Each structure stands twice: as C-alpha cells, then as structure tokens.
Amino acid sequence: MKKILIFGGTGFVGKYLADKLSKFNVTYFVRKSSDISGIKGDFFYGDLTKKKDTEKACVGQDIIINISGPRKQSGKVDTTVLTTGIKNIVEAAKKSKIEKLIHVSSAAGYRKNKDSYGLGKRKSDEIILKSGINTIILKPTLIFGKEGGIFKKLLKSTTLVPFVVPIIGDGLNKIQPIYVEDVVQAILASIKKENKGITIYDLAGPHPIEYKEFISKILKILKKKKKTLHIPAKLATKLIQKATVKRMLEEINLDIGKTKKELQLKLTSYDKALKKILG
C-alpha cells in the first residue's frame, strides 16, 4: 500500500479527495487550527513554511500530493505558501527520495493579467520545473463545487440583486470552469499513472462556455427568472480595479485533449455538475 502525504488536504479540493483515498495509507500535513472533521487518516501537525517540519513529514512517504494554497484567492494574497512552501516540499522530497510529486497548480499562471495569486502559482511551477523531481503538475481553471470560495462569489452575484444579475461587459467572454470531482478524478489518475520526469496537464471543463450562458444555467437550476444587467467595462473600472476587470474578461484557451487521453478523464457536463451542487 502506497504511503501518501497530502499538503492542503483539509481545504476545498482536499475534502472531496479524502473520500476517495480509503485504499491508501494517507497522512495529512495540517496546521493545529485546521478543521480535520470527517477526514480519515494520520495527521502531521506542522507549518509548511518551516523546512524542518516538511522534512520530518516526508520521511518514509512514497507520494506527495500538494493542494496547498493561500487562505484567500482574491485581492492581494500571501504567496509564502506558494513559494517558500513549495521550495520546502521540493527539498524535503529530494532528501526523502519521494517516488512522485503531484502538484495542483492553476491555469491562473497563464493569464496575461496576473494577480498575486497567479504570479505565486507561476513561481511555484518554476521551482518544481527546476527541481528535476518526478512530478505531475495539474493546472485547473476555476474549480467549482459546493464549498468553492470563488464559486460562492459567482453564485452570490446571481442572487444578491433582486430581478437582475449584474454582468461586466457583454457576457460573451468564454470561461471553462472544471467541476471539483473531475479535479479529484485527475489526482487519482495521477497517483496510478507511471511518470518519468515532469509532466504538465491542463485541467478544464468539457468545453468553453460564454459567461452569460453559465450564469443562465445557474439561474435555471435555481428556478430564478432574472434579466442580465450589463455593466460596461469602463464603468466597472470605476467600481473595482482596472486589472481585476481585465482578469475577469480575459479568456484562457486550453487544449485538454492530452489530459483526457492520458489520464482517461470523463468530464462532467456543466448541467450535471451544477445540478449536483445546487439541486
């Protein structure tokens, strides 16, 4: 039975993953303040930004799964976990001769208009790429699910104002969000997959979809009849930062053919995923 050490396992994605790891010997690297309710496995209490803690945790492990990230992913975020933390994981993995590292990064690193989160994710990827460790890097777009922080904000935008849903721009910009259970499916496939060197897999939903169409699907499931209130981008920049508006409207085009084929993913349709979350 493979021994797996998970960083960030008590977060949004980690809680979905925990239910699928009963066949493995799992240790969760957690803070003393972490909510471990409902999670089965062993626990190592430590601080990811402290080198000695990561080194101790990695001893005797076969596979590392890193889903760690800052506590918030909007505005100016603390990138210490994304940089110092990754550096500590890489050095500890080398020292303990870990068989494989599975690192959940983000497609936010591809954006032209990066925020501190996107820059931190890109930097963490660069640290791994230079490490030479046997690694699978997964780069998901917006992950949506019941407890997803960003999805909660998107959902709030559809219900906050009576009768209308405010949308910045014309709503024709395409997004390709991925259902959290599909991300978990990719992580599980990465555990099983034989890998040499560093392989990067982009993760996204089944197809690009216009933002306003995605909102319409949410409204339909919630059985709410609302009109869309389009806010011109120039006007929106007077309410929120110009860079934030640009990120919201920027499209990221990903080819997920390789990911689907090599990890044998069967992606959940937007309708089915939203019904499971909101139905």
User: Residues 175-208: pLDDT tens digits?
Assistant: 999 999 999 999 999 999 999 999 999 999 999 9
Please name which of 178, 226, 184 lies closest in space to residue 203, comparing C-alpha atoms.
Answer: 178
The pLDDT-based confidence of 71 (bands split at 50, 70, 90) is: low
pLDDT of amino acid 30: 95
CATH number of the domain that residue 157 is part of: 3.40.50.720
Q: Which two tokens stand for residue 271?
A: 């309708």
Instruction: List all residues 6 or more positions away from 168 whose beta carbon is below 8 Å from its beta carbon.
Output: 230, 231, 233, 236, 245, 248, 249
pLDDT at 57 over 60: yes
Question: What global pTM score does this model have?
Answer: 0.93
Query: Can you tell me which residue has the tokens 């690694």?
Result: 135
The pLDDT-based confidence of 67 (bands split at 50, 70, 90) is: very high
The pLDDT-based confidence of 55 (bands split at 50, 70, 90) is: very high
Q: Which two tokens stand for residue 155?
A: 């959902």
pLDDT at 79 over 80: no
Domain tally for the chain? 1
pLDDT of amino acid 148: 78
- Opening angle at CA 212, ends 209 and 213, nearest 5: 50
Distance between CA atoms of residues 208 and 214, nearest Å: 10
DSSP-assigned beta bridge partners for residue 199: 136
Domain encompassing residue 112: 3-278
How many angstroms separate the Cα of 38 from the Cα of each of 18, 233, 235?
9, 43, 45
What's the mean per-residue pLDDT of the chain? 92
